[in-house]
Amino acid sequence: MATIRLSGDVEADALAELRRALDGDTAFMLAEPGERDRELQDASYRFVADEGGQLVGVIDVRALPWRRARGRGAIVLGVRASHHGRGIGRGLLDAAIAEARRRGMWRLELSTMTHNHVALRLYAACGFEVEGLRRSSLRVDGEPVDEYYMGMLLQRADPVQ
């Protein structure tokens, strides 16, 4: 019978070998056979909003390098509270979506707290749809907070072959 234990740093090489073996054993892993052995390009990007030399907003689009997820980006957006309601969030989202399309990406996704109605309206206006609910996924001031998981299909993804 196998022993279950916490992994340690000393077994990094053995763990890397296990991950490579798993990639070849099943089609259910994120990486395909051989992908862990080569340098993968980071397709992530970022836009910022600048007002008078001060950064007032940022949007990061983090893209996974694995072939099975390449073309999917996870968005994190933030605008200074003092600059809410000025169209900065919409401008950042529009720029990120346009860049994703330019790069041939097929999907963008994000999450937001369910009670953040301003963000929900913005994301819906930009084409994002609620795809799921993460119950008690965050703690804010010690209290559980739910999140909506949202996504936008930019183009139909070709099936991975």
Split at pLDDT 50, 70, 90, the class of 161 is: very low
In this predicted structure, the answer to whether residue 160 has a pLDDT above a threshold of 80 is no
93's CB contacts (< 8 A; 6+ apart) are: 59, 75, 77, 122, 123, 126
pLDDT at 158 (0 to 100): 56
Is it true that domain 42-153 has CATH number 3.30.420.40? no
Contact 60, 43 (CB under 8 A): no
Over residues 3-7, the mean pLDDT reads 83
Predicted confidence (pLDDT) per residue in 34-78, tens digit = 887 777 778 899 999 999 999 999 999 999 888 899 899 999 999
What are the structural domain ranges in the chain?
Answer: 12-40, 42-153
